[in-house]
Chain A
Amino acid sequence: DIQMTQSPSTLSASVGDRVTITCRASQSISSWLAWYQQKPGKAPKLLIYQASSLESGVPSRFSGSGSGTEFTLTISSLQADDFATYYCQQYNSYWTFGQGTKVEIK
């Protein structure tokens, strides 16, 4: 099974900050990686697919990069609506999620 390791687990930031979350796969997954945002009581929302493709309707301040085993999600200027938990997900072989990164207000 492919393991996904996200860091950090928690991130404290302010509105306007640049935020980066990292995800590492236990083996190469090419670019078969997605990023999701989840708010309390809601289903996950797709932000990025195929490592760097922005899902329709998602603000351009979100971007993804990486391939192979190392990936990042960047929020260029954090907005109030962005405080949430973020998950990476590999879909090279079935699905596996990272453990999540909670973005909190500093």
Chain B
Amino acid sequence: QVQLVQSGAELKKPGSSVKVSCKASGGTFSSYGINWVRQAPGQGLEWVGGTIPIFGNPKYAQKFQGRVTLTADESTSTAYMQLSSLRPEDTAIYYCARDRLPAALHDTSDLWGQGTMVTVSS
């Protein structure tokens, strides 16, 4: 059974960058879309961006354009989200989520990682 296992919690200074990983354990994902969603403390869910690794065509939410980069290493079934120019309001849990179906134009997710807490504080 495939699981998404994310990297551990991060504490970062304002202005720095963070790179969160998401590894598909027990399977691959290269033909599935991988999306990233964040949740600030006590707040709702916010889409950051998504990509289908086999196509290499990341899409980013307007709010994060220029600050976020999504990549993937198919050889290790690992996806990455890098967020730069961090500010305190980026403090949140960051989740990766895999699409239900491979190479789908429209899809939601039935498989989520456990989340990675990123704290931005001086």
The interface residues of chain B lying within 8 Å CB-to-CB of A91 are 106-108
Residue A97 CB within 8 A of the other chain: yes
Count class of interface residues, chain B: 20 to 34
Evaluate contact between B47 and A94: CB separation under 8 angstroms.
yes
The interface on chain A, measured as residues whose beta carbon lies within 8 A of the other chain's beta carbons, has a size of: 21
Q: Which residues of A contact B113 (CB under 8 A)?
A: 43
Taken residue by residue from 57 to 74, chain B's Cβ proximity to chain A (1 for < 8 Å, 0 otherwise) reads as 001011000000000000
Say yes or no: is B45 at the interface (Cβ < 8 Å to chain A). Answer: yes
Task: Determine if A65 is an interface residue (Cβ-Cβ < 8 Å).
Answer: no
Within the complex, the shortest CB–CB distance from A53 to chain B, in Å, comes to 10
Taking the complex as formed, is B53 at the interface, i.e. its CB lies under 8 A from any CB of chain A?
no
B30 at the interface (CB under 8 A from A): no
Which residues of B in the span 97-122 have a Cβ within 8 Å of any Cβ on A?
97, 100, 106-110, 112-115
Given A32-B106, A43-B115, check contact A94 B44 (CB 8 Å).
no
Interface on B for A, CB 8 Å cutoff?
35, 37, 44-47, 50, 59, 61-62, 95, 97, 100, 106-110, 112-115
Closest 4 CB pairs of A and B: A43-B112, A95-B47, A34-B108, A97-B45
